[in-house]
């Protein structure tokens, strides 16, 4: 059981003064004690950043082993410079510093900057954090063990030994940044074993609330108007139950005459919590004048055991101050440890003045106590270290839940959280049925989340570092989901993201059935995305780095689809892209069913695109392949809009290919069409070695081949428009070649036509090096004059009867 | 309240020292004061005869009317010297300081001067 040596809950409600040393060793700058932002109790300390605003808390023990715990919360992230915000003053070795590293937001511990060790967790704004430490000065080197939010960090060491700890200073020791730091429940101990066992202890206040059995007599213990306190018509406790306290002197209990055995007794409210670790008494006092006097403020425990706050019945203490002075003292238990019953039975006594000239004044008195909360869900609760939470029935948590360290959370039925959940470090969350989260959930580090039922996010879900998320049923994120580091997400049922779905680093995402993502999805790094059902994206999806994306069913993209680096995209059924699809680097895109692209597709580097069924009619907008080695469609390739292949080695169409718009192939090794090729608009092949059409080649518009090795048409070539071949080695038609417009052949080695050839217009051949024209061609010329250019000489060819004239 | 304390303004540098960034500073006793300011490289010295006359005459008394002895706290650059005092009564040992209410109370001057 932890044994706190001193506790600081700031439950007196106001930043008072150093006078008397009962509250602070030093106050530097401007600080305040505030309500509303606390770990426990009603008040917390607030120090402003940007100046040397800090508070050095009172230390009652001189020790070489100094264990402690501080809860703090930044409402603004530090700025401007690294910020020292906790300092443990030891008198021989350099002071211990805890600071926020500006560049990273990490927490760094050191001996005044020497031998620093740093967390790998960022400070979170507007979230309570906990630092626990154990400073051992007795051995060389001096060691500082420390933890951040319940996780032990690397030890800091410093050569030398020390003999004393001077204090704990909290606040801004660097005069940097803006905003405020809140502090609550500062606890320290001189017991080494208390290290990392103080973080879960809370501190609350108790103010006297009833009069007890007084031992008073006339003109001894009075209120400030001189009335004797009698416990019936003149009560003692209202005179000292001030809340918040003030340095302004007000109502009081006074000892008008000395009465070393006289006292007034006051009751204390019962404590909360099942485990009580420490009790501390506070006193604000003054006197009528500065001349020496005395009095005592004590607690009486069960069995009549007396514990001093200031003075004792046998040895009252000086109270001769004309301004408000403050004292505090830890109240030791009667046995080895406090019990709830013991705490609830104690009373406060004031009086025992042996020298009441001048009158001693008791201005205010109260207690703070350290406790652990029980397993009650009736109000907000915090479990700083919890190894197991098991709920076998329906559990509703309406207030906030904070688990600083939780090894397992298991709900076998339904867990409903109506308010925020904060899990700083949780190793496993297991929900057998349904987990409904209405508001924000923040999981800093989680190794496994296992949801056998479903997970329904109606608000933001933030998972800082998670190894695995397994959801066997529905994942319904109606609000943003952000996973910064994620190894695996497995969904055996439905994934529905109705809002932003962002995965900073995710190794694997597996979906067994249909997934509907209504909002944008961003995957920073994803090794594998496997969707057994289907994927319907109604908003944009971006995969910065994705190694494998496999879709066993439909892939429907209603919005833009961007893959920064993707090695494989496999769609075993239908792939429909309604909007732009951009693949910066893609090695394989395999679509087993239909590929329907309603909008532009841009592939900067694509090695293989295969659609085993068809690429349906339906490239309705431009298709651009920066580098594409192979495009294969087993059935139909239909392009309504332009297709541009800047570098493409092979395009294979086993069925009909219809291109209603521009098609431009800058470098094309082979264009093979098993069925036919119908080009309704211009087609341009800048460099092409082979173009083969097994059936019909119909070109209704201009057809330009700047460099072509071979054009082979085994059936019919019907050119309704101009055919321009810059350099063509071979043009071969086995049946018929019909040219209804100009035929321009810049350089031709061979034209072979086994069937008939009909030219309705002029036929121009410009040959600069070598020609090999079959006699059939030359003799065919018929009634059309042909201009043959040999080197720089123009030769006109006209057939007259059976002779060829030049 | 102490008698004839603090010294008249202008006879000593304004409190708090500029080394604290101009913010308010108070300490529960002289030990805490010196300990904190030593971290900022302040030093302490015996007062000069002139300072003794100026700050620590026999008319200076703590709130319980004890006589005091003086000590000077010197800034790191040696340019500013701040007077502090502690009463001679061993049981009281009040410390006289430069921030309201200008005294540290019982044992407020312990272990320092």
Residue A267 CA: distances (Å) to CA of A206, A350, A365, A656, A666: 10, 12, 12, 97, 95
Name the pLDDT band for A289 (thresholds 50, 70, 90): very high
More confident residue, A256 or A484: A256
Q: Is the pLDDT reported for residue A131 higher than 90?
A: yes
For residue B35, the model assigns a pLDDT of 82
- Give yes or no for B29 touching A (CB within 8 A): yes
Q: Is the pLDDT reported for residue A254 higher than 80?
A: yes
User: Residue A487: helix, strand or coil by DSSP?
Assistant: strand
For residue B2, the model assigns a pLDDT of 93
For residue A604, the model assigns a pLDDT of 55
More confident residue, A722 or A211: A211
- Running DSSP on this structure, what letter comes out for residue A780? H
Beta-bridge partner residues of A364 = A284
Beta-bridge partner residues of A669 = none
Handedness of CA A378, A381, A386, A389 (dihedral sign): positive
Indicate the pTM of the whole model. Answer: 0.59
Question: Which phi and psi (to 5°) does residue A158 adopt?
Answer: -155, 130
Residue A771 CA: distances (Å) to CA of A146, A746, A794: 90, 11, 14
How far apart (Å, rounded) are the C-alpha atoms in residues A727 and A689? 11
For residue B23, the model assigns a pLDDT of 80
For residue A338, the model assigns a pLDDT of 92
Name the pLDDT band for A335 (thresholds 50, 70, 90): confident
Name the pLDDT band for A322 (thresholds 50, 70, 90): very high
| Mean of pLDDT values over A139-168 | 89
Cα distance between the two ends of chain A: 118
3-state secondary structure A693-749: ECCEEEECCCEEEEEEEEEEECCEEEECCCEEEEEEEEEEECCEEEECCCEEEEEEE
Name the pLDDT band for A714 (thresholds 50, 70, 90): very low
| Mean of pLDDT values over A794-804 | 48
d(CA B49, nearest CA chain A) in Å: 30
How far apart (Å, rounded) are the C-alpha atoms in residues A212 and A361? 20
Mutation target to probe the B interface, by most B beta carbons within 10 A, among A19, A162, A172 is A19
> Residue B50 is inside which H or E element, if any?
helix B49-55
Of A341, A360, A205, A386, the closest CA to residue A288 belongs to: A360
Q: Mean pLDDT, chain A, as a whole number?
A: 72
d(CA A278, nearest CA chain B) in Å: 25
More confident residue, A774 or B99: B99
Q: Of A383-387, A564-568, B35-39, which has the strongest mean pLDDT?
A: B35-39
For residue A698, the model assigns a pLDDT of 56
Q: Are A359 and A254 in contact (CB under 8 A)?
A: yes
Name the pLDDT band for A337 (thresholds 50, 70, 90): confident
The partner residue sitting opposite B105, judged by closest CB among A20, A24, A56, is A20
d(CA A470, nearest CA chain B) in Å: 54
Compare all CA atoms of chain A with the CA of B40 and give the residue at the minimum distance.
A173
Query: Please, how many CA atoms are within 13 Å of residue A311, restricted to the half-sphere of its CB?
Result: 26
Compare all CA atoms of chain B with the CA of A324 and give the residue at the minimum distance.
B101
Residues of chain B with pLDDT under 50: 113
Q: Is the pLDDT reported for residue A684 higher than 70?
A: no
3-state secondary structure A643-677: EEECCEEEEEECCEEEECCCEEEEEEEEEEECCEE
| Mean of pLDDT values over A768-795 | 44
Residue showing tokens 């008040």:
A43
Q: Could you give the ipTM of this predicted complex?
A: 0.93
Instruction: Give Cα A450 to chain centroid, integer Å.
Output: 19
How far apart (Å, rounded) are the C-alpha atoms in residues A541 and A39? 41
Token pair belonging to A569? 């995209």
Q: Is the pLDDT reported for residue A221 higher than 80?
A: yes
Q: Tens of pLDDT along A445-484?
A: 555 566 555 565 555 566 655 656 666 555 655 555 666 5
- Give yes or no for B19 touching A (CB within 8 A): no
Judge residue A345's burial from the number of C-beta atoms within 10 Å of its C-beta, 0-12 exposed, 13-18 middle, 19 or more buried. middle
Largest Cα–Cα distance in chain A? 156
For residue A162, the model assigns a pLDDT of 84
Least confident range of A94-103, A382-391, B36-45 = A382-391
Query: Please, how many CA atoms are within 13 Å of residue A671, restricted to the half-sphere of its CB?
Result: 31
Mutation target to probe the B interface, by most B beta carbons within 10 A, among A52, A93, A319 is A52
- Record: contact B104-A17, CB cut-off 8 A: no
Name the pLDDT band for A58 (thresholds 50, 70, 90): confident
For residue A277, the model assigns a pLDDT of 93
For residue A93, the model assigns a pLDDT of 78
The partner residue sitting opposite A28, judged by closest CB among B20, B29, B92, is B20
Q: Which residues from A are below 8 Å from B30, CB to CB?
A: none
For residue A580, the model assigns a pLDDT of 59
| Mean of pLDDT values over A357-365 | 97
- Record: contact B24-A29, CB cut-off 8 A: yes
| Mean of pLDDT values over A92-97 | 86
User: Residue A78: helix, strand or coil by DSSP?
Assistant: coil
Q: Is the pLDDT reported for residue A216 higher than 80?
A: yes
- Record: contact B33-A26, CB cut-off 8 A: yes
β strands within A234-287, DSSP E = 253-255, 263-267, 275-287
Q: Is the pLDDT reported for residue A178 higher than 70?
A: yes
Q: Is the pLDDT reported for residue A666 higher than 90?
A: no
Largest Cα–Cα distance in chain B? 35
Q: Is the pLDDT reported for residue A568 higher than 90?
A: no
How far apart (Å, rounded) are the C-alpha atoms in residues A296 and A12? 20
Query: Please, how many CA atoms are within 13 Å of residue A306, restricted to the half-sphere of its CB?
Result: 16
d(CA B32, nearest CA chain A) in Å: 6
């Amino acid at each position: 059981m932890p044994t706190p040596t001193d506790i600081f809950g700031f439950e007196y409600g106001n930043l008072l003064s150093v006078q008397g040393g009962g509250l602070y060793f030093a106050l530097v700058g401007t600080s305040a004690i505030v309500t509303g932002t606390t770990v426990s109790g009603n008040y917390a300390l607030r120090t402003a950043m940007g100046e040397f605003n800090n508070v050095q808390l009172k230390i009652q023990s001189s020790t070489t082993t100094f264990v402690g715990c501080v809860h703090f919360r930044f409402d603004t992230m530090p700025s401007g410079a690294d910020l020292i915000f906790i300092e443990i003053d030891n008198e021989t070795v350099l002071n211990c510093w805890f600071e926020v590293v500006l560049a990273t937001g990490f927490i760094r511990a050191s001996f005044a900057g020497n031998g620093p060790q740093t967390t790998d967790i960022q400070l979170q704004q507007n979230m309570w954090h906990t630092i626990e430490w154990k400073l051992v000065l007795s051995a060389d080197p001096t060691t500082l063990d420390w933890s951040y939010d319940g996780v032990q960090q690397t030890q800091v060491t410093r050569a030398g030994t020390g003999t004393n700890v001077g204090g704990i200073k909290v606040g801004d020791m660097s005069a940097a940044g803006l905003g405020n730091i809140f502090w609550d429940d500062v606890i320290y101990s001189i017991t080494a074993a208390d290290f990392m066992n103080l973080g879960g202890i809370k501190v609350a206040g108790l103010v006297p609330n009833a009069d007890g059995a007084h031992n008073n007599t006339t003109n001894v213990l009075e209120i400030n108007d001189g009335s004797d306190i009698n416990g019936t018509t003149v009560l003692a406790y209202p005179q000292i139950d001030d809340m918040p306290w003030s340095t302004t002197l007000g109502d009081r209990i006074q000892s008008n005459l000395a009465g070393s055995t006289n006292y007034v007794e006051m009751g204390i409210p019962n404590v909360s919590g099942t485990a009580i670790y420490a009790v501390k008494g506070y006193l604000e006092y003054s006197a009528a004048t500065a001349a020496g006097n005395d009095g005592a403020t004590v607690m009486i425990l069960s069995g009549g055991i007396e514990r001093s706050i200031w003075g004792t019945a046998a040895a009252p203490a000086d109270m001769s101050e004309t301004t408000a002075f403050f004292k505090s003292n830890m109240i030791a238990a009667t046995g080895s440890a406090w019990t709830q019953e013991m705490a609830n039975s104690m009373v406060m006594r004031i009086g025992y003045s042996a020298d009441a000239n001048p009158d001693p004044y008791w201005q205010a008195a109260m207690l703070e106590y350290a406790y652990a909360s029980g397993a009650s869900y009736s109000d907000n609760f915090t479990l700083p270290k919890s190894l197991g939470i098991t709920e076998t029935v329906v559990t509703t948590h309406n207030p906030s839940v904070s688990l600083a360290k939780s090894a397992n959370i298991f709900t076998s039925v339904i867990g409903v959280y109506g308010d925020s959940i904060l899990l700083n470090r949780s190793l496993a969350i297991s929900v057998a049925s349904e987990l409904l989260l209405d508001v924000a959930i923040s999981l800093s580090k989680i190794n496994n989340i296992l949801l056998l039922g479903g997970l329904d996010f109606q608000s933001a879900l933030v998972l800082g570092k998670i190894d695995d998320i397994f959801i066997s049923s529905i994942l319904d994120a109606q609000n943003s989901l952000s996973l910064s580091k994620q190894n695996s997400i497995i969904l055996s049922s439905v994934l529905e993201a109705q809002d932003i779905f962002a995965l900073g680093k995710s190794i694997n995402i597996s979906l067994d059935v249909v997934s509907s993502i209504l909002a944008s999805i961003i995957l920073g790094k994803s090794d594998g995305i496997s969707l057994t059902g289907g994927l319907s994206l109604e908003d944009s999806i971006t995969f910065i780095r994705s190694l494998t994306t496999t879709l066993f069913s439909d892939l429907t993209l209603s919005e833009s689809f961007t893959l920064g680096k993707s090695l494989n995209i496999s769609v075993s059924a239908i792939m429909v892209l309604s909007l732009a699809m951009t693949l910066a680097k893609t090695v394989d895109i395999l679509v087993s069913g239909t590929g329907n692209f309603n909008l532009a597709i841009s592939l900067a580097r694509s090695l293989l695109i295969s659609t085993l069924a068809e690429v349906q009619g339906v490239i309705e907008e431009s298709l651009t392949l920066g580098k594409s080695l192979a495009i294969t469609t087993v059935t139909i390739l239909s392009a309504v809009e332009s297709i541009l292949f800047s570098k493409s080695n092979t395009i294979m169409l086993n069925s009909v290919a219809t291109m209603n718009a521009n098609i431009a192939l800058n470098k094309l090794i082979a264009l093979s069409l098993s069925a036919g090729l119908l080009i309704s608009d211009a087609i341009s092949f800048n460099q092409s070695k082979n173009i083969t059409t097994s059936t019909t080649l119909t070109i209704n518009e201009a057809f330009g081949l700047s460099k072509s090795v071979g054009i082979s048409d085994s059936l019919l070539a019907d050119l309704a428009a101009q055919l321009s071949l810059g350099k063509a080695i071979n043009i071969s038609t086995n049946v018929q070649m019909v040219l209804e417009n100009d035929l321009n052949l810049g350089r031709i080695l061979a034209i072979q036509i086994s069937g008939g050839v009909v030219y309705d217009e002029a036929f121009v051949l410009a040959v600069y090096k070598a020609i090999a024209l079959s006699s059939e061609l030359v003799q065919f010329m018929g009634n059309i004059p042909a201009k043959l250019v040999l080197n720089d000489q123009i030769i006109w060819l006209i057939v007259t009867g059976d002779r060829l004239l030049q | 309240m102490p008698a004839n304390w603090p010294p008249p303004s202008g006879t000593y540098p304004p409190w708090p020292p500029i080394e604290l960034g101009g913010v308010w500073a108070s300490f529960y006793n002289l030990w805490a004061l010196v300990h904190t300011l030593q971290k900022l490289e302040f030093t302490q010295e015996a007062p000069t005869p002139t300072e003794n006359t100026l700050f620590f005459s026999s008319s200076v008394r703590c709130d319980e009317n004890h006589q005091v002895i003086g000590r000077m706290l010197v800034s790191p650059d040696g340019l500013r010297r701040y007077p502090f005092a502690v009463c001679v009564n061993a049981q009281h040992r009040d410390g006289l300081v430069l921030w309201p209410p200008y005294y540290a109370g019982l044992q407020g001057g312990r272990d320092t001067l």
